């Protein structure tokens, strides 16, 4: 599969930004919401946004080859600086000429800073002004990750987009620690900018922080805009906070961040979140969810997910999704996948292919709807398929804030929804 052509005929950008290693062109805007469709020209590839980036922690997505990712129309993948720095390590990556060459991936690559893993995965992590002190899981020795070290590793990896090291706190944290982390992240950004040795070849994105505090989020976003970076990330969310707080922090951030530069909401991957956040003005997403849930035998569909290990699929001769053109849906039945998922690697591989294809198709559909200025109708049709009449309250409120009121029919759709408290996902009716 080649890159989708939803921008065919659109040659004049509505807005543009030019950085040494990134050109961003906004080619279409939704006339109702804050959604926009754009081209992001990177050193290794021109990506179309809004886009979803599968996560390849150590330079690989389990069970999928780089060629398969290209065939699935994946534009950018994400790698993990901490894990890549441990193995294969910066010396081998330097010798190989960077991760692109090492893994034979010819498209876009984004690396996170490694800070999240330091705090969330490792024992005895200690944050100081110098950096993150942690216990090496291999030998138990104390180690330090600084902003300068993180950038050095990412320069060796050679990603098109690098993330600053930030002071990560849980989205559920409140009080003085949140403000301390926000200001420290700004100081670490300045150190990262100074340490960046390849600005003509790699882009450094800062990360908006501030927890669920509107004042701190506003301060953080305004401070980062002063640095005039190639693009910006919205961090510190998707950590268990209430969805009502989540969307408000996202839209607050997109209201402040420049309209002519890409905005990346970190750690977002559920289909409804991608639709809502695109309406709120976000361009880029990543999450381990689609590939991780595939390894447990869960296949993504527009109504939610299918737990293929369940006995109800043992005689089901349909594909996962009749409307999906991925190689799994073209060649395999639910019954076959039921016999293999969670039992051997074949099933995991096949469901992973489908789940990535599902995410890529969803993003193409979002982009096309924006280009054709029918995104509000797409939203209504998506939510009707996803949830039926009862839609989570946070989705209703978030969409209402950008002029799409699901509780009232409009001229293009008779669909109306009843809001319900809680973040839930209906099981598909099979």
Catalytic member of 112, 160, 283, 321: 112
- As a whole number of angstroms, the longest Cα–Cα distance in the chain is 64
Q: Is 286 a catalytic residue?
A: yes
CB distance 166 to 115 below 8 Å:
yes
Q: Is 318 a catalytic residue?
A: no
Quote the Cα angle for 414-420-421, to 5°.
Answer: 155
SS (H, E, C) the chain: CCCCCCCCCCCCCCEEEEECCEEEEEEEECCCCCCEEEEEECCCCEEEECEEEEECCCCCECCECHHHHHHCCCCEEEEEHHHHHHCCCHHHHHHHCCHHHHHCCCCEEEEECCHHHHHHHCCCCEECCCCEEEECCCCCCEEEECHHHHHHHHHHHCCCEEECCCCCCCCCCCCHHHHHHHHHHHHHHHHHHHHCCCCCCCEEECEECCCCCHHHHHHHHHHHHCCCCCCEEECCCCCCCCHHHHHHHHHHHHHHCCCCCCEEECCCCCHHHHHHHHHCCCCEEEECHHHHHHCCCEEEECCEEEECCCHHHCCCCCCCCCCCCCHHHHHCCHHHHHHHCCCCHHHHHHHHHHHHHHHHHHHHHHHHHHHCCCHHHHHHHHHHHHHCCEEEHHHHHHHHCCCCCCCCCECCECCCCEEECCCCCCCCCC
The pairing of beta strand 390-392 with beta strand 142-145 = unpaired
Catalytic member of 166, 213, 286, 321: 286
Cis amide bond preceding 393, omega within 30: no
CB distance 1 to 71 below 8 Å:
yes
CB distance 301 to 358 below 8 Å:
yes
Show which residues are catalytic.
112, 286
């Amino acid at each position: 599969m080649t890159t989708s052509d939803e921008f065919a005929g659109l040659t004049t950008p509505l807005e543009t930004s030019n950085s040494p290693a990134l050109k961003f062109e906004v080619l279409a805007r939704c006339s109702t919401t804050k959604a926009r469709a754009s081209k992001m020209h990177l050193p290794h590839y021109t990506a179309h946004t809004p886009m979803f980036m599968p996560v390849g922690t150590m330079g690989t997505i389990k069970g999928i080859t780089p060629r398969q990712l290209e065939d699935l129309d994946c534009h950018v993948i994400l790698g993990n600086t901490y894990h890549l720095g441990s193995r294969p390590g910066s010396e081998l990556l330097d010798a190989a000429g960077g991760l692109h060459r090492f893994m034979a991936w010819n498209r876009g690559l984004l690396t996170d800073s490694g800070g999240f893993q330091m705090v969330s995965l490792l024992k005895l992590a200690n944050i100081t002004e110098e950096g993150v002190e942690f216990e090496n899981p291999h030998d138990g020795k104390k180690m330090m990750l600084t902003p300068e070290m993180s950038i050095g590793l990412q320069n060796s990896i050679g990603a098109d987009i690098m993330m600053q090291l930030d002071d990560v706190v849980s989205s559920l944290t409140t009080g003085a620690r949140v403000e301390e982390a926000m200001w420290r992240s700004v100081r670490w950004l300045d150190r990262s900018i100074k340490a960046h040795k390849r600005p003509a070849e790699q882009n450094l994105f800062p990360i908006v922080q501030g927890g669920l505090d509107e004042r701190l989020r506003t301060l953080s976003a305004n401070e980062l805009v002063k640095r005039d970076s190639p693009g910006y990330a919205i961090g510190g969310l998707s950590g268990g906070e209430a969805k009502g707080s989540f969307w408000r922090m996202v839209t607050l951030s997109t209201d402040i961040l420049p309209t002519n530069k890409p905005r990346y909401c970190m750690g977002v991957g559920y289909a409804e979140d991608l639709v809502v956040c695109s309406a709120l003005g976000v361009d880029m997403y990543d999450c381990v969810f689609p590939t991780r849930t595939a390894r447990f035998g869960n296949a993504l569909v527009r109504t939610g997910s299918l737990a293929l290990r369940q006995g109800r699929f043992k005689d089901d001769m349909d594909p996962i999704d009749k409307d999906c053109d991925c190689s799994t849906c073209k060649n395999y039945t639910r019954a076959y996948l039921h016999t293999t998922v969670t039992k051997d690697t074949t099933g995991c591989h096949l469901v992973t292919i489908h789940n990535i294809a599902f995410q890529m198709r969803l993003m193409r559909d979002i982009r096309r709807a924006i280009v054709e200025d029918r995104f509000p109708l797409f939203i209504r049709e998506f939510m009707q398929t996803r949830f039926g009449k009862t839609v989570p309250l946070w989705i209703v409120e978030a969409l209402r804030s950008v002029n799409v009121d699901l509780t009232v029919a409009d001229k293009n759709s008779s669909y109306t929804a009843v809001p319900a408290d809680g973040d839930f996902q209906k099981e598909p009716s099979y």
